[in-house]
Structure 1
């Protein structure tokens, strides 16, 4: 199985060679401040029941969590958007592992605040076979305890590198989710939960899959 974190560390190493230190410091400060809020400790955790959700996919069709869970256990990946190379790398790793999820009787969805049009681009560009759902203003992410607002100093930085989050998300709230991965049993119970204030860190899919109950088809 490919090691996701190795791929992400490579992106970080490349970024450090390309971006000036004072600009890198802005991202470091944002991560430190977000971590200091204790948000990682407040996420919806193992043993909790997930809030039910119904969100539009890339085609605008509403996908209901209870319908998904009626079919099998669920892996839910919250990602920031197609503008984030770490998120795209993670989605591509899950794309390659999707047959394993299905073999085990599970389902997989990825949720972000980006518009359905952006999700459609992402799906086409990266051949994503599972649903990409739009969580407008991170309302569902909020219920999972993983939503936050990008601080002003970081907004200026994103604008300077042409990452237009209000455009990508279709609204002006500057709300994003922590990158987070959940495994949810068919009764809606959280079996696995991991989220990081540092967007450069993600759980290894192998560890996530170890918590996915195997269902006979």
Structure 2
């Protein structure tokens, strides 16, 4: 199944499940390339917070619409905040599946992935229902967390219609009018709210692999 066919089927299923009923997506997902070692742990120019930065508390909603504070998340231990573009992005769905399958490895290391997108709660719930994700999936259509980590991407006006032609109406996914979503990013944050490691890339088809993320975690713990 090629990417376009997968995307169209995903959007069709989502439109038929507007109230976040369980859905079954195709097992074939597009190929997601691992980040080159030389680029790992780097940020795009003007994107992402630096290592050593302390994230101020913010409150956003879970996929169930419940208020969740950043401080409550880190009280439970180190976390890995993963910003994804949205449930409409097949590459994000591939990453979510990989992270879900690797949950035992993260849990063994005492670190909890936290997924955040600009999707409204019912759209975020689609990801949760599809993969039975055992860690938090948070909804941030107001971009509060996105701004805290400096990962906001505004879709250029000339591409808004192009996305719509593919059936991706960002305002429907977020419930807002901003046509913004996250630069694909990952941050390892300790229980004090300090960023220990981060990565972002405008190339949404290339992201740190599970193996690369686990290696980064292990290297931090070995210091």
Alpha carbons of structure 1 residues 69 and 17: separation in structure 2 relative to 1, 3 Å: closer
| Cα distance in 1, alignment partners of residues 125 and 91 from structure 2 | 18
| Cα distance in 1, alignment partners of residues 168 and 133 from structure 2 | 22
- Per the TM alignment, residue 179 of structure 1 is displaced from its structure 2 partner at its CA by 0.6
Deviates more, 1:201-210 or 1:111-120: 201-210
- The residue that corresponds to 1:117 in the other structure is 122
Query: For structure 2, which runs of at least 5 residues remain unmatched after alignment?
Result: 7-42
Matching of residue 89 in structure 1 with residue 94 in structure 2: yes
**One of 39, 44, 55 as aligned partner of 2:60:** 55
Does the aligned pair in 1 maintain the 2:60–2:144 contact within 8 Å? no
| Cα distance in 2, alignment partners of residues 15 and 107 from structure 1 | 30
Query: For structure 1, which runs of at least 5 residues remain unmatched after alignment?
Result: 1-10, 19-38
Q: Deviations over 1:166-217 (max 9, x none)?
A: 0011111101110100101111111110010111111122222233366xxx
Does the aligned pair in 2 maintain the 1:137–1:173 contact within 8 Å? no
- Per the TM alignment, residue 15 of structure 1 is displaced from its structure 2 partner at its CA by 4.2
- The residue that corresponds to 2:204 in the other structure is 199
**One of 74, 80, 88 as aligned partner of 2:85:** 80
- The residue that corresponds to 2:156 in the other structure is 151
**One of 172, 185, 189 as aligned partner of 1:180:** 185
> Normalising to structure 2: TM-score of the pair?
0.76
| Cα distance in 2, alignment partners of residues 167 and 144 from structure 1 | 24
- Per the TM alignment, residue 143 of structure 1 is displaced from its structure 2 partner at its CA by 2.2
Q: Which runs of 4+ in 1 moved over 6 A?
A: none
Q: Deviations over 1:102-159 (max 9, x none)?
A: 1212111100000100111221122222111011232321221110211111101011
**One of 159, 164, 167 as aligned partner of 1:162:** 167
| Cα distance in 1, alignment partners of residues 216 and 76 from structure 2 | 17
Give the total of aligned pairs: 184
- The residue that corresponds to 1:36 in the other structure is none
Does the aligned pair in 1 maintain the 2:58–2:144 contact within 8 Å? no
> Normalising to structure 1: TM-score of the pair?
0.78
Task: Say which structure is richer in helix.
Answer: 1
Matching of residue 126 in structure 1 with residue 141 in structure 2: no
| Cα distance in 1, alignment partners of residues 65 and 116 from structure 2 | 13
